[in-house]
Amino acid sequence: MKNNTKSYFDALVSSTAEIIRFDSSLKPADGEYPFGKETADCLQYFLSLAQSMGFETHNYDNYVGEVVYGKGEDFAVLAHLDVVPAGSGWNYPPFGGVINEDVSAGGVTGKKIWGRGAMDDKGPAMACLYALKALKDEGFTPRRTIKLIVGCNEENGWACIDYYNKVAKMPDEGFTPDADFPVIYAEKGIIHFTAEFPIENAPFTQIKAGNAVNMVCDEAFAVITRKASESLVDYQNPVDGTTLSYDNSPNTLRARGKSAHGSTPQAGANAFQAMLKFFAAQNEDCQNAYDVLFNDSANLKQLQDETGVLTMSPDVATFENGVLKVAVDVRCPATFGMASVTERLDAAGVNYRVDRYQPPLYNDKNGELITTLSKVYNQATGSQEEPIAIGGGTYARALRCGVAFGPEMHGDEVTIHQPNEYITFERLQLLLDIYYDAIKAIGAPKYTRIGIVKATYNK
C-alpha cells in the first residue's frame, strides 16, 4: 500500500510531546473528574485536537472519549490516555515531553520523545488519530464506522470501558495499539490478588513498597528493629539488580531495584523481594511469605501452554496490625482460568482475596482481522512474521473479536512502565504508516468479516 503520511509527521511529533505533558496517572475522583482533573484535561486535549481536524467527537463524562469517522458497521480502535505513575530514576522530567537525540539514556540512536506514556499509549493513540486525518484529507471514507475510543482508566481497573458500555455500544470488532507487533491473537488471563501474612515478632514496624500492582516494585521502605539493623552488618544481598541501604535515624531500610511491566517481572529487579529476603533470614513467618511470593511454594508456575508460563509479580506491600499485605500481579496462560490459580493457593494454605480478574483472550489465528493486520504489518516492514501471544492484558479483550496491534517490536529496548520511557521518531512514523494502512484495508469494500471465532479455555 502507498500512502502520503510524511506531511503529517511534524504535527504528530508536536501533539505527542504535548499530550505527554499531562500527568494522567490515576488521582482521586474529584466531582466531574472520575480519575482526577489532569486526566480529564488530557482527554479534552485529545478530543479538541480531533475536533479541529473536522471529526465528530464524544466525551462520556471524562471517563472515556471517542473520535468517529466513516460509514457502516462499527469498528473500534481502542487506545488509552492514562498512564502508570512515573516512579523514580528518570533522566528527563517524566511529564516533560522532551525531544532530543540522547543515546546514553536510551541506547538507541535518532531523535526521541521522552516521557511517561510515550509508548504506552499516548504516542500510538496520536498516530491513530493522525492516520485518520490523513485518510480524511485524501478523501477516503471507510466503509466501516471507525470509532477511535480513548479510555482514561486502562491501567487501573477499566472503569472507563465499563462506563462506555453503559452509555454507548461497543463495536464487536477492533484492535488496540497497545502491545506488540506483528499482531496478538492471545493474551494471558490477569489475576490481581492480595495475600496476607501474619508476622509474629516482626523485625520491622512499618513497610511501604511499590507504586502499582502492575509495575515491578522499584523502591521499598521499612522501619526496622535495632536487632534487625545489627544483622545488616554482614548481610550480602543475593537479589540481582537491587540494592539495600540503611539509615539509623530512624532505623530505616531502603531497597531499590528496577521497574518493569507486571507481565514481564523478569525484565525488572524487585526491590520488595530484596527486602523480604533479608527479613526471611531472621523470621520464620517472613520466610513463609517469601516462599509463597518468590519461591513459588504454591506451584503456580507449573501452569503453562502455547501462550507461555504463568508469571507472578508481588509489587505492592504494606504492614498493618501485625499483618504483611502484598498485592500480586499474576498472568495466567490463556487456556487456564482463574480456578487453576486459586486451587493452588488454597492447597498451599495462602490467605488471600482476589481483587481483579480478566479472563484470557484467545482468538482464531486464521480470522479475517488477524490475517488482514498481519499482511499490513509484514508489507510495511518487509517481514514474514506470524501472530503471537503475550502476557500483557489489553483493551482487545473488551471486544468480541479484538486483537492488539503494536507499537512494540521484537528486539526493542522495553521502557514501558519503566523510567526513561520514550518513542523514537522512526517508530512514530512507522506507526503512522501502519495504522493508516490498517484502517484503509479494514475500511475497504473487499474487507469482509467472516464471523467471530474464539477458542475456548479451561474455566
pLDDT in tens for each of the 459 residues of the chain? Answer: 456 789 999 999 999 999 999 999 999 999 999 999 999 999 999 999 999 999 999 999 999 999 999 999 999 999 999 999 998 899 999 999 999 998 877 778 899 999 999 999 999 999 999 999 999 999 999 999 999 999 999 999 899 999 999 999 999 999 999 999 999 999 999 999 999 999 999 999 999 999 999 999 999 999 999 999 999 988 999 999 999 999 887 899 999 999 998 999 999 999 999 999 999 999 999 999 999 999 999 999 999 998 889 999 999 999 999 999 999 999 999 899 999 999 999 999 999 999 999 889 888 888 899 999 999 999 999 999 999 988 777 999 899 999 999 999 989 998 998 899 999 999 999 999 999 999 999 998 776 554 444 444 333
73 secondary structure, DSSP code: S
- Domain range list for the chain: 6-188+361-442, 189-358
Angle (CA) 412-46-186 rounded to 5° is 40
Q: Where are the beta strands (DSSP E) in 217-322?
A: 219-224, 243-248, 251-256, 304-305, 308-309, 311-320
Residue 248 phi/psi, 5-degree rounding, is -90, 10
What distance in Å separates the CA atoms of residue 291 and residue 170, rounded to the nearest whole number? 43
Let me know: does 422 contact 106? Beta carbons within 8 Å: yes
What distance in Å separates the CA atoms of residue 300 and residue 340, rounded to the nearest whole number? 8
pLDDT at 288: 98
Q: Which fold has domain 6-188+361-442?
A: Aminopeptidase (3.40.630)
pLDDT at 433: 97
Please state, in angstroms and as integers, the Cα–Cα distance from residue 202 to each residue in 199, 247, 324, 342, 434, following that order: 6, 19, 10, 28, 55
What distance in Å separates the CA atoms of residue 377 and residue 337, rounded to the nearest whole number? 31
Let me know: does 179 contact 406? Beta carbons within 8 Å: yes
Residue carrying the nine cell digits 517490536: 409
Residue 406 phi/psi, 5-degree rounding, is 80, 180
Task: Name the pTM for this structure.
Answer: 0.77
- Fold identical between 6-188+361-442 and 189-358? no
pLDDT at 137: 96
What distance in Å separates the CA atoms of residue 394 and residue 263, rounded to the nearest whole number? 11
Q: What share of the chain is helix, strand, coil (3-state, %, to 5)?
A: 30, 30, 40
Residue 435 half-sphere exposure toward CB, CA atoms < 13 A: 33
Let me know: does 237 contact 272? Beta carbons within 8 Å: no
- Does 407 sit behind a cis peptide bond, omega within 30 degrees of 0 on the bond before it? yes
Other C-beta atoms closer than 10 Å to the C-beta of 353 total 10
Let me know: does 395 contact 402? Beta carbons within 8 Å: yes
pLDDT at 108: 84
Let me know: does 95 contact 86? Beta carbons within 8 Å: yes
Cα 192 to chain centroid, rounded = 14
Let me know: does 29 contact 124? Beta carbons within 8 Å: no
**For residue 360, which of 389, 382, 384 has the smallest C-alpha distance?**
389
Q: What is the CA radius of gyration of the chain?
A: 23
pLDDT at 455: 41
Please state the three-class secondary structure of 154-215 as a single string: HHHCCHHHHHHHHHCCCCCEEEECCEECCCEEEECEEEEEEEEEECCCCCEEEEEECCCCCE
Please state the three-class secondary structure of 118-171 as a single string: CCCCHHHHHHHHHHHHHHHHCCCCCCCEEEEEEECCHHHCCHHHHHHHHHCCCC
CATH architecture of 189-358: 2-Layer Sandwich (3.30)
pLDDT at 351: 98
